[in-house]
Structure 1
Amino acid sequence: MRYASVTDRLAGLGGAKWAIHARARDLKSAGEQIIELTIGEPDVETPEPMLEAAARSMRAGRTGYSNGRGEPGLVAALAARYTARRGRGIGRDQVMCLPGTQTTLYAILRTLVEAGDEVLLGDPMYATYEGLIAQTGATVVPVPLRPEHGFRMQAADVAARITPRTRVLFLNTPHNPTGAVLRPADIRALGEVAKAHDLWIVSDEVYEDLVFPGVPFTSPLDFADLADRVVVASSLSKSHAAPGFRSGWCVGPAEFCERLLPLSETMLFGSQPFIADMTQLAVSEPSPVAAGMAERFARRAALIERQLTGVNGLYVHRPEAGMFALVDVRATGLSGEEFALGLLDRRKVAVMPGESFGAGLSGWLRLSLTQPDERVVEATDRIAAHAASLLEGVA
């Protein structure tokens, strides 16, 4: 039988990248005691007022059809939120609501690029980004994010990779997996390149509320002279510990949203009104859980750094935001995948290999910061022991 070419473009870009996480879950199901440091699952429950808002809305009959743009109350709340945060007016016609950041980015890229186009994307990158771009038929052009620059994208590296086919500069700030946060000067320089070459800027900002204490956050949406070319995406998944509700949105130029609307209607024809009501409540006031998560994740990142940097050849890159820390294991002579597989099988610790996030993290590991401190300490002890055994040539 014949299949659409998109299935070939996406082969190997889906669940295959999460093979170690899936293996860890299988081992746990079989009764193994695994310390799981793989995915970015929030370490608190969804706030009770949000759950009550969704339940109250369902009981009130808010279970019917919605529309492709989003429920009016939520659209208005998001416009107000971004007007306040970005320091300039954001209209309701600049907002679109979709189920989660992943669906939102799928729709954004489907609206902006197609076969023959190129998208500039930082390497390392979040594991699903390659697939999001490949589904359109466009080509990923990796831009190296270098440790010596704190993994922050550099304008010169972008400019060196632009061709006549380049259409989009894809940013992720705060960044997954590195935890890097772009500074105003970084965005200004990147914006000048985008303007010079008439590029769209797509910015995934789902970790905006999980920036660590003392680190400033800046969005390309802050810059009025970039307003006609910036589209940002976000959701409740991280900031409000609500990944299962799949409630996301994008903000961009009004014309972009009008172009996106028929695609949204074709894909989904609206999200659930009761989830929209819950989201409206959530975005209308500060998250009750984000600051606590940011403090805990920053503390655990510092703990991992103290426990592992300089131990048995390991090095820890300390993040500025988000849910993850990176560990360089290249001194052991293994790839990140080889190290992670051995760590799971012999030490019962599950981490993500850096190779799942692009060639730029070959020989690295990504560790989730969402387990309690004592479990993180135990995991780092096991990681150090595994590295020692490798350096000694003992399996």
Structure 2
Amino acid sequence: MRMTDVTKRLAGLGGAKWEVHLAARDMIAAGADIIEMTIGEPDVPPPAELMQTATTAMLSGRTGYSDGRGEANLRKTLAARYSVSTGRPIGPENVLCFPGTQTALYAVLLGVAEHGDEVLVGDPMYATYEGVIRASGADMVPVPLRPEHGFRMQADDIAEKITPRSRAILLTTPHNPTGSILTVEDLDAIGRLAEVHDLWIISDEVYEQLVFDAAEFVSPLARAAFAERVIVVSSISKSHAAPGFRSGWCIASAAFCEGLLPLSETMLFGNQPFIADMTEQAVREGSSVAAGMRGRFAARAAKLVARLHHDTGLRVHSPEAGMFAMIDVSATGMDGDAYAQDLLHGAGVAVMPGSSFGESLRNWVRVALTIDDDGFDCALTRIADHANRRSAEVA
């Protein structure tokens, strides 16, 4: 039977990127001793008080249809939170609620790009970005994020890729998978470029509350000179260790939100009222788990750098935020795909090949910092021993 063009555009952009992760899960199910460092699940459960709020809301009848924009109490709270963080007046009219960042990003891309357009995005990138861009009918234009610039997107590199078909620049700050954070200078240069070429700036900020102590996060929404062309997407998935609740939002100009509303309502018509109540509490009170995650992830990243730089030829990019670290595996003589398979089957550690996030990471792998300390230490030993064996073979 015939299927539509969107299924062809998205062919190969789903589960294929997670081949190593799925193989590891199969091996674990069969009884193999595998340490899984592939995906970014928070290492703690959602705060009990949030789950209690959601349960109480369900039992009290908060299970009906939602406002298409999202529940009023949540939009008001989000507006207040972004007014404080950006230093600009943000109102409920600047907020649309969605089930998670992914859905928000999908809707936003449909709102700014279509067939024949182009969306510029950093390479490497989060694994689903190509899919949400291609789903709109637009073409993805990778912009290299270079290690010598700390994997931060540079305006000069964007400028080389802009054409008359360009419609938007998709940013991730803090970045997944590298953990880099765009500076004020980076953002202002990108903003000036967007103004000259009349481009939207879409900023995925889901890791905003997982910034390590030595780093500073600034949203492009806080840069008044070009804030009207900025669309922020985020959620409570990372900050509150609540990915399964699927509660996110976009923050943008009132005109953009008004224009996107019919599309949002056609897709899903708001988010669930009982989850909105929980999210409103999460945003209003802040996270009781984010600080702990920041400390643990930063400590594990530092340990990864110290161990592998001292004991092996592997080189780690030190992240400034998030749940992951990147390892350059060139010294083993393998690219990231071959290395990830060899590490899984030869040492019992599952990591993500860098190519899952873009061609510029062909010789890298991504490791999650979210496993417990004992498991992490064991994984480090296995990775170091494996790397030294392979490097010796290359020599």
TM-score, normalised by the number of residues in structure 2: 0.98
Instruction: Find the aligned partners of 1:257 and 1:222 in 2 and give their Cα distance.
Output: 18
Instruction: Find the aligned partners of 1:10 and 1:238 in 2 and give their Cα distance.
Output: 26
Shift of 1:309: 1.6
Q: Which residue of 2 aligns with 1:152?
A: 152
Give the aligned length: 394
Paired letter, 1:385: D
Q: Which residue of 1 aligns with 2:111?
A: 111
Retained in 2: the 8 A contact 1:67–1:265? no
- What are the superposed Cα offsets for residues 143-195 of structure 1, whole Å, 9 maximum, x if unpaired? 11000110001110011111000000110000000000011111011100001
Q: Which residue of 1 aligns with 2:253?
A: 253
Within 5 Å, give how 1:63-212 maps onto structure 2: 63-212=63-212
Instruction: Find the aligned partners of 1:365 and 1:148 in 2 and give their Cα distance.
Output: 18
- What are the superposed Cα offsets for residues 235-287 of structure 1, whole Å, 9 maximum, x if unpaired? 00000000000000000011110111101111112211000000000000221
Shift of 1:310: 5.1
Instruction: Find the aligned partners of 1:360 and 1:224 in 2 and give their Cα distance.
Output: 33
Instruction: Find the aligned partners of 2:223 and 2:312 in 1 and give their Cα distance.
Output: 45
Paired letter, 2:28: K
Retained in 1: the 8 A contact 2:39–2:368? yes
Retained in 2: the 8 A contact 1:353–1:366? yes
Deviation >6 Å, runs of 4+: none
Instruction: Find the aligned partners of 2:165 and 2:25 in 1 and give their Cα distance.
Output: 42
Retained in 2: the 8 A contact 1:323–1:370? yes
Retained in 1: the 8 A contact 2:119–2:167? yes
Paired letter, 2:163: T
Q: Which residue of 1 aligns with 2:232?
A: 232
**CA-atom RMSD, angstroms?**
1.0
Q: Structure 2: which 5+ runs fail to align?
A: none
Shift of 1:67: 2.4
Q: Which residue of 2 aligns with 1:305?
A: 305
Retained in 2: the 8 A contact 1:307–1:377? no
Within 5 Å, give how 1:217-366 maps onto structure 2: 217-309=217-309, 311-366=311-366
Instruction: Find the aligned partners of 1:253 and 1:309 in 2 and give their Cα distance.
Output: 46
Shift of 1:374: 2.2
Paired letter, 2:204: D
- What are the superposed Cα offsets for residues 114-141 of structure 1, whole Å, 9 maximum, x if unpaired? 0100011000000000001000110111
Shift of 1:392: 2.7
Q: Which residue of 1 aligns with 2:378?
A: 378
Q: Which residue of 2 aligns with 1:62?
A: 62
Please, which moves more after superposition, 385-394 or 171-180? 385-394
- Counterpart secondary structure, 1:284: helix
